[in-house]
């Protein structure tokens, strides 16, 4: 081979114009309520390991995070930073500004994108913090659900390792579990796979519940099948809980063909611990994404939206320009209902590899499931065997702490504040050489907390923190309404409602704020004092009548308490113009229906109500339609049922 024909890899930072819905500002209210993902009912032949993991580690709330729910259904052009890794066989495109998403993985031999990549990015309420979008490969950490960082920028740099290989590194401080995660991606010359090394570090003395699932969207079409090396799977639906099934023959249906599934379902393949974990998607030509990994990433999953009206509508909701997809995923545990115990001071790492296994379609699509698995196993080994994955893991571990070479993107400033806090308080932290959290990343979101750390006092903050150290610093701020308020938030997040109530009242004595009244409302409602709680919401909304997030939450609380007239009175009292679309419009229609004004409610629905942040698994507009328009078919635009 002469010098000019030598195999090479390029890593380029570029810009791409994409149609995207504006994420809007962060929700101003702290996330003090229950986590939106709830545990499933588990039945049948399910191992004790799954039962124990499902009962462990579920967080009370997502505090100190804030919702990302300011988006709508209008999209406009936006220039996004991309990082492109390319060799002779593959081209990989990453989006550091949107959770580090791997957006495209193109097999240059066939010209096929191995991932589902929609033509636009439409945000919707599927993540733990609401905002989420379909497509590509996503990294999920913390607890069950799409990650708190999935629509947030990550820190990113490009480093050159000892072999001269350029590596894309992305990292962030995850605030729920207070751990640091790191993603290193590289594409060796002439490699048929893209490597991604993941490292999670727990700097705390205490154990933390840990969760990781890598989520890949793949095209769904009649010629595509998903194969994994298991004879059974733990299947879940949105009505029947979780139980063991044969995915290739579940009630006479071969569910490994995504289009065969009538409803939304998850299939967690029961892969034997001694078997190399993998899962692949094979289209009619035998091409498709293969997800391989070292053994630490044990779990494999297939998710389908199903072919019902609701499933099809969700696909259209997430991809307005068309296109259908399924998901294949890889996780630390067998199922997504589990958390693992990550000891204090522990470091966990593994390597994932993605490529085109190029299976023989006749063999991979055989009706004999065992034969299909045997064939696909041989193709996976040919693509990348276990020894090669182990070698890649060892190599990545060798440069995991290598200092970044060239910074290309900045994540949040919370890691920098955490680093400063821990060093000042002399509590455990971690080696930052490979994942630096520079003070230059600190913005107005973190500035009030940095000032508090540096002894400059505390005026107010629109963001939130958690932990004993912060509470102690706030206690030193005497006769400070905002300090009382943020201490109340922390107590509330811990479930110490009486202590939170005392602090809310102390804050209100010094300064009447909507946030303190809202906190009191939540505390009252959670303890069964509906009347007092609703009165607190009225007081909160009177102080901030333009706070749509607060009004939405208050109206929802009135309806949940069976006080629909109170909801309508609140809309009138604050002078908020009744919107004929969006969630407030839906809540108004629901209130009208509850007070017997069915025709007015029907008129609102017929005029068109579009709830941009409709939650995955919810179908409230359809339910309301059937109540106020009996005998009329539910319009397709209101059908989101996943059952």
- Please state the three-class secondary structure of 235-250 as a single string: EECCCCCEEEECCCCE
pLDDT at 278: 98
pLDDT at 5: 42
Q: Which fold has domain 481-638?
A: 1.25.40
d(CA 626, CA 311): 19
Short-list 177, 178, 179, 170, CA closest to 152: 170
Query: Which residues are CB-contacts of 240 (< 8 A; sequence separation ≥ 6)?
Result: 41
Query: Which residues are CB-contacts of 53 (< 8 A; sequence separation ≥ 6)?
Result: 333, 335, 337, 338, 339, 340
pLDDT at 243: 87
- Tell me the CATH number for domain 3-399: 2.70.98.10
Q: Please provide the DSSP assignment of 150-184 as one string.
A: TTS--EEEEEE-TTS-EEEEEEEEETTTTEEEEEE
Strands in 347-356's sheet, in edge-to-edge order, are: 225-227, 278-282, 289-293, 347-356, 193-201, 179-186, 166-174, 155-160, 406-409
d(CA 235, CA 224): 20
Low pLDDT (below 50) residues in the chain = 1-5, 580
Phi, psi (degrees; rounded to nearest 5) at 207: -65, 150
User: Which residues is 44 bridged to in the sheet?
Assistant: none
| SS3 call for 398 | helix
pLDDT at 36: 78
Helix spans in 513-642 (H)? 514-526, 530-543, 548-560, 564-573, 582-594, 598-607, 620-628
Q: Is the pTM higher than 0.85? A: yes
Short-list 269, 272, 230, 278, CA closest to 385: 278
pLDDT at 34: 86
- In this structure, the strands spanning 120-121 and 10-21 are parallel
Query: Which residues are CB-contacts of 622 (< 8 A; sequence separation ≥ 6)?
Result: 634, 638, 639, 640, 641
Phi, psi (degrees; rounded to nearest 5) at 568: -65, -40
Short-list 369, 323, 336, 361, CA closest to 267: 336
pLDDT at 238: 74
> Distance between terminal CA atoms of the chain?
58
Structure tokens at 199: 């490292």
CB hemisphere CA count around 515 (13 angstroms): 25
Residues in the chain: 643
pLDDT at 144: 93
- Domain layout of the chain by residue ranges: 3-399, 481-638
pLDDT at 3: 41
The packing angle between helices 548-560 and 514-526, to 10°, is 20
3-state helix/strand/coil string of 265-289 = EEEEECCCCCCCCEEEEECCCCCCE
User: Which residues is 171 bridged to in the sheet?
Assistant: 155, 182
d(CA 549, CA 532): 20
| SS3 call for 89 | coil
pLDDT at 456: 95
Structure tokens at 574: 């604050």
Residue 364 in contact with residue 286, Cβ under 8 Å?
A: yes
Residue 234 in contact with residue 243, Cβ under 8 Å?
A: yes
């Amino acid at each position: 081979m002469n010098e000019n024909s030598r195999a090479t890899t390029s890593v380029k930072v570029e810009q791409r114009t994409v149609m995207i819905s504006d994420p809007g500002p962060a929700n101003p209210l702290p996330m003090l309520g229950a986590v939106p993902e709830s545990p499933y009912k588990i039945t049948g032949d399910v191992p004790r390991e799954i039962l124990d993991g499902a009962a462990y580690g579920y967080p009370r709330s997502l505090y100190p995070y804030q919702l990302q729910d300011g988006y709508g259904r209008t999209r406009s052009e936006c220039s996004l930073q991309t990082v492109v890794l390319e060799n002779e066989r593959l081209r990989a495109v990453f989006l550091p500004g949107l959770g580090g998403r791997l957006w495209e993985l193109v097999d240059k031999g066939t010209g096929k994108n191995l991932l589902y990549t929609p033509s636009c990015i439409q945000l919707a309420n599927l993540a733990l913090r609401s905002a989420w979008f379909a497509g590509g490969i996503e990294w999920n950490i913390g607890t069950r659900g799409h990650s708190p960082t999935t629509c947030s920028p990550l820190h990113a740099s490009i480093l050159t390792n000892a072999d001269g290989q350029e590596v894309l590194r992305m990292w962030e401080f995850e605030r729920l579990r207070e751990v640091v995660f790191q993603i290193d991606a590289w594409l060796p010359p002439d490699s048929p796979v893209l490597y991604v090394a993941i490292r999670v570090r727990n700097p705390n003395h205490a154990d933390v519940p840990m969760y990781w699932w890598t989520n890949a969207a793949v095209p769904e079409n009649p010629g595509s099948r998903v194969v994994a090396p298991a004879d059974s799977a733990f299947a879940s639906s949105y009505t029947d809980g979780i139980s063991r099934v044969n995915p290739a023959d579940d009630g006479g249906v071969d569910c490994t063909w995504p289009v065969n599934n009538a409803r939304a379902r998850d299939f967690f393949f029961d892969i034997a611990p001694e078997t190399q974990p993998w899962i692949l998607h094979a289209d009619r030509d035998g091409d498709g994404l293969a997800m391989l990994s070292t053994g630490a990433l044990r779990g494999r999953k297939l998710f389908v939206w199903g072919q019902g009206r609701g499933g099809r509508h969700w696909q259209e909701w997430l991809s307005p320009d068309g296109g259908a997809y399924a998901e294949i995923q890889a996780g630390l545990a067998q199922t997504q209902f589990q958390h693992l115990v990550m000891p204090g001071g522990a470091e966990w790492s593994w390597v994932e590899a993605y490529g085109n296994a190029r299976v023989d379609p006749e063999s991979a699509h055989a009706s004999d499931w065992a034969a299909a698995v045997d064939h696909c196993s041989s193709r996976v080994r040919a693509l990348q065997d276990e020894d090669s994955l182990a070698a890649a893991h060892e190599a990545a571990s060798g440069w995991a702490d290598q200092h970044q070479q060239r910074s290309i993107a900045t994540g949040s400033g919370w890691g920098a504040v955490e680093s400063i806090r821990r060093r000042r308080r002399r509590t455990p932290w971690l080696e930052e050489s490979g994942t630096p959290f520079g003070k230059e990343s600190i913005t107005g979101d973190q500035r009030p907390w940095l000032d508090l750390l540096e002894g400059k006092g505390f005026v107010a903050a629109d963001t939130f923190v958690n932990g004993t150290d912060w509470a102690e610093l706030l206690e030193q701020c005497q006769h400070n309404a905002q300090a009382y308020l943020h201490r109340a938030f922390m107590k509330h997040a811990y479930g110490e409602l009486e202590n939170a109530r005392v602090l809310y009242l102390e804050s209100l004595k010094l300064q009447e704020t909507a946030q303190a009244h809202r906190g009191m409302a939540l505390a009252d409602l959670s303890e069964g004092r509906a009347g007092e709680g609703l009165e607190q919401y009225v007081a909160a909304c009177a102080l901030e009548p333009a706070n749509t997030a607060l009004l939405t939450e208050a109206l929802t609380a009135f309806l949940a308490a069976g006080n629909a007239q109170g909801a309508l009175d609140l809309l009138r009292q604050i002078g908020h113009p009744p919107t004929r679309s969006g969630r407030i419009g839906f809540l108004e229609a629901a209130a009208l229906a509850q007070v017997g004004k069915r025709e007015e409610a029907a008129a609102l629905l017929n005029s068109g109500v579009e709830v941009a942040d409709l939650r995955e698994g919810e179908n409230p507009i359809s339910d309301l339609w059937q109540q106020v328009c009996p005998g009329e078919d539910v319009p397709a635009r209101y059908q989101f049922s996943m059952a």
